[in-house]
Amino acid sequence: MAKKIIPALDFKGDWNYSPAPEDTKHINLQKQYELFIDGKFVKPAKGKYFDTINPATEQVIAKVAEADDSDVNKAVKAAKTAYDKVWSKMPAKEKGKYIYRIARMIQERAREFSVIETLDGGKPIRESRDVDVPLAANHFFYYAGWADKLEYATPNRVSKPYGVAAQIIPWNFPLLMAAWKIAPALATGNTVVLKPAETTPLTALKLAEIIQESGLPPGVVNIITGAGKTGAALVNHPDVSKIAFTGSTDVGKLIQKSIAGTGKKATLELGGKAANIIFEDAPINQAVEGIVNGIFFNQGHVCCAGSRLFVQESVADIVIKKLKDRLETLIVGDPLDKNTDIGAINSKEQLNTINKYIKIGKDEGAEFYQSSCNIPSKGYFCRPTLFINASQSHRIVQEEIFGPVLTIQTFRTVEEVIEKANNIPYGLSAGVWTDKGSKIFNLTTKLRAGVVWANTYNKFDPTSPFGGYKESGFGREGGMHGLMGYLKF
């Protein structure tokens, strides 16, 4: 009897996932947002507003108040009064209860927060739902626990809060960065004025609603929106005693200059350009997933992104082949679709910066490769990009691109890769992939990076400190170390 021939499956054909968009009907957004000062939402003194847009559609989501010097003054005054009259006198255990309450309220409204984070910033809903929002709640839970146990964090030393903390955050993890800043500041007894980034203010303003509802005494947390000028006015206010900044190295340097000699304490969490190192004995398929997660998570808008890949020469061909195959399966598109792997670039400016670096990389002579995926015609999108055979001296290797662009270099020996990985102005994070524990220990002691992941990448936990060396800044956030930036002795 003739055998029935079953045709081979054609994965290159028309295999598409059906759209699985997250519902947006359950979220509640206003047309206009005010400043959150002294427990109330108040209009900006000059009556100025700016638009925040959805980078996936280029549509305006809401108008947001622009704080000027007098609004900054008002917010700092509210924070100072709240510190002097209420927060510095409240028993630590009571402070802890408020922080727990905020954590629980974020959990209760997790779905709403995830959708708004994705709408305002462009990141895939899977990431805001599974990473940003749960981690933000966890930070509040974790630091709530420290509030009445500070003497165990600093045994035999008497610590005091600074007073008013000015906190300035970037647009890549808007709610999570707000949590990283506010939770330890409150647990250590400081009061806060926080400025979110211009392109992603909405989840911080939603957090302000939670803070108001939680009954936290007015003025303990103030959230003011605006551009860089608002941030500068906040940094330079004389009643601010502590500055916690996360953002670019350029702005970090400006801040350091402007506070020199003032006695203000600063922690600066700045840029990065991490080496992700694959040895020939690494589990290759896992490593390829780690490369993808390292650089394409959050469109590569990650300070600790594994943006410089180093592959041992003997396995370079197979790793690059598998990586190219994997790139073809990545879905770039609607951030609200649960199938999407890579969402929208956060702003037009950032897309221009990424495209500028893609041009520089081509001009420098590295081999350019992009996946062939479709990208939406409206909105700011970028295909996952590789530059193969990049050199240590290339600008695309030395400078932070902050987008879905990976440079690839090869190496032969452990000494060579350590030297190349460290030969860069930044030192925030790194990744090592190998079967050998001894190699991991060797590299973790020699790589000048604040965080080194082994056989994994981009793992975050509130109990674990995070921060950089060199131009990646100073100070640690997260864990017990995260308390120290908010305490003086």
Give me the residues that bind ligand NAP (CB under 6 A), please.
Answer: 168-172, 195, 197-198, 227-228, 231-232, 235, 246-248, 251, 254-255, 269-272, 303, 400, 402, 428, 468, 472-473
Interface region with Mg ion, contact rule CB under 5 A, candidates 50-58, 216-224, 396-404, 421-429: 50-58
Give, for 198, the enclosing helix (H) or strand (E): none
297 binds, among ligand NAP, Mg ion, none (CB under 5 to 8 A by kind): none
Q: Is the dihedral of CA 280, 283, 285, 286 positive or negative?
A: negative
Is residue 321 exposed (0-12), middle (13-18) or buried (19+ Cβ within 10 Å)? exposed
Q: Which is nearer to ligand NAP, 36 or 279 (CB)?
A: 36
97-136 residues in contact with Mg ion (CB under 5 A) are 120
Report yes or no: 146 and 153 within 8 Å, Cβ to Cβ.
yes
Q: Which is nearer to Mg ion, 56 or 358 (CB)?
A: 56
Three-state helix/strand/coil letters over 390-413: CCCCCHHHHCCCCCCEEEEEEECC
Interface region with Mg ion, contact rule CB under 5 A, candidates 15-23, 197-205, 316-324, 462-470: 197-205
CB of 124 to ligand NAP, least distance (A): 18
When binding is defined by CB under 5 A, the residue of 52, 128, 340, 429 that contacts Mg ion is 52
Q: Which is nearer to ligand NAP, 227 or 318 (CB)?
A: 227
418 binds, among Mg ion, ligand NAP, none (CB under 5 to 8 A by kind): none
Is residue 23 exposed (0-12), middle (13-18) or buried (19+ Cβ within 10 Å)? exposed
HSE-up of 362 (CA within 13 Å, CB side)?
9
219 binds, among Mg ion, ligand NAP, none (CB under 5 to 8 A by kind): none
98 Cα distance to chain centroid: 25
Q: Which is nearer to ligand NAP, 101 or 301 (CB)?
A: 301
276-335 residues in contact with Mg ion (CB under 5 A) are none
52 binds, among Mg ion, ligand NAP, none (CB under 5 to 8 A by kind): Mg ion
**57: which strand partners?**
none
Q: Which is nearer to ligand NAP, 305 or 386 (CB)?
A: 305
340 binds, among Mg ion, ligand NAP, none (CB under 5 to 8 A by kind): none
CB neighbours (10 Å) of residue 30? 11
CB of 297 to Mg ion, least distance (A): 19
120 binds, among Mg ion, ligand NAP, none (CB under 5 to 8 A by kind): Mg ion
CB of 306 to ligand NAP, least distance (A): 13
- Residue at shortest CB range from ligand NAP: 231
CB of 66 to ligand NAP, least distance (A): 9
Which of these, 373, 367, 357, lies nearest to 408 by C-alpha position?
Answer: 367
Say how far apart CA 244 and CA 317 lie, in whole Å.
44
Q: Which is nearer to ligand NAP, 168 or 221 (CB)?
A: 168
Q: From the candidates 34, 117, 127, 303, give the one annotated as an active-site residue.
A: 303
248 binds, among ligand NAP, Mg ion, none (CB under 5 to 8 A by kind): ligand NAP
How would you classify residue 190: left for phi > 0, otherwise alpha for psi between -120 and 50, otherwise beta? Answer: beta
Q: Is residue 269 flagged as an active site residue?
A: yes
Say how far apart CA 185 and CA 161 lie, in whole Å.
8
Q: Which is nearer to Mg ion, 55 or 333 (CB)?
A: 55
Q: From the candidates 34, 66, 198, 269, give the one annotated as an active-site residue.
A: 269
176 binds, among Mg ion, ligand NAP, none (CB under 5 to 8 A by kind): none
Interface region with Mg ion, contact rule CB under 5 A, candidates 45-53, 67-75, 90-98, 397-405: 45-53
CB of 30 to Mg ion, least distance (A): 15
270 binds, among ligand NAP, Mg ion, none (CB under 5 to 8 A by kind): ligand NAP
Q: Is residue 382 flagged as an active site residue?
A: no
Side chain identity at 261, as an amino acid letter? G
Which 3 state secondary structure label does DSSP give 243? strand
Q: Which is nearer to ligand NAP, 212 or 248 (CB)?
A: 248
When binding is defined by CB under 5 A, the residue of 57, 118, 199, 230 that contacts Mg ion is 199
CB of 483 to Mg ion, least distance (A): 32
CB of 196 to ligand NAP, least distance (A): 6
**Cβ-Cβ contacts under 8 Å for 334 (sequence gap 6 or more):** 19, 21, 56, 340, 343, 376
Q: Is the dihedral of CA 88, 94, 98, 104 positive or negative?
A: positive
Report yes or no: 429 and 443 within 8 Å, Cβ to Cβ.
no
CB neighbours (10 Å) of residue 455? 15
Report yes or no: 60 and 31 within 8 Å, Cβ to Cβ.
no
CB of 27 to Mg ion, least distance (A): 14
Q: What is the CA radius of gyration of the chain?
A: 23
**Token pair in block for residue 125:** 């809903």
Which of these, 107, 114, 382, 83, lies nearest to 217 by C-alpha position?
Answer: 83
Q: Which is nearer to ligand NAP, 169 or 211 (CB)?
A: 169
Concatenating the DSSP letter of every residue in 21-85 gives BPP-TT----SEE-EEETTEEE--TT--EEEEEETTTTEEEEEEE---HHHHHHHHHHHHHHIII
Which 3 state secondary structure label does DSSP give 161? strand
CB of 195 to ligand NAP, least distance (A): 6
- Residues annotated as catalytic are 269, 303
* Binding stretches for Mg ion (CB under 5 A): 52, 120, 199
